Amino acid sequence: MGQFEPGKSLSFRLPSDTPSHVLKYLTDNKKEAGRKFSSNIASIFIDAVSQKALSISNGNQMNVPLPKGLTSEELDWLNHPHTKALISQLLYQVVKKPYSPFDLNHQPEKIEAEYPPAFKANAAIQNFAQKAFLDFDDDDD
């Protein structure tokens, strides 16, 4: 048997003990989707197999369902690596130190390895920037 890859055909038989609500869903979906039925079922199949594979291979992950009705901008923001790092950092704080205030400067080991510290300017550059760009005392009123 060859290796599975995108675009390859996969067929299987429904077991004899398939629940009636599943059979009804498949029948209704087939009638509604027509030729797109296999695409609809393929996405459901991939999601189910993906969840199963992740739960078996990696026990240190958790899937959190997103609220319905998010805009594409909100979804893009949630999928950004910095947002995921912030959420995982907050979760880490809640689990490890539930009764202490949030320390947003502390980063768990995994996040530190994945995201290097932000750029820090030395004192000379900070002084120059403060004097050149942030000194508003001489502005005319």
- Contact between residue 77 and residue 70 where contact means Cβ atoms under 8 Å apart: no
**pTM given for the model:** 0.40
Q: Please give the C-alpha separations between residue 105 and each of 44, 86, 99, 101, 126, in angstroms, as whole numbers.
A: 40, 11, 17, 12, 20
pLDDT digits (tens, 9 = 90+) for 3-14: 888 888 888 899
Q: Give the confidence band of 1 by pLDDT, cuts at 50, 70, 90.
A: low
Q: Return the higher-pLDDT residue of 80 and 100.
A: 80
Is 39's pLDDT higher than 60?
yes
Is 134's pLDDT higher than 70?
no
| Mean pLDDT rounded to a whole number for the chain | 77
Q: What percent of the chain has pLDDT over 90?
A: 11
Q: Return the higher-pLDDT residue of 24 and 113.
A: 24
Secondary structure class of 54 (helix, strand, coil): helix
Is 84's pLDDT higher than 90?
no
Q: Give the confidence band of 102 by pLDDT, cuts at 50, 70, 90.
A: low
**Side chain identity at residue 125, one-letter code:** I
Cα-only R_g, the chain: 26
Can you spell out the DSSP letters for 49-110?
A: HHHHHHHHH-TT----PPPTT--HHHHHHHHSHHHHHHHHHHHHHHHH-TTS---TT---HH
Residues 6+ apart with CB under 8 A from 2: 8
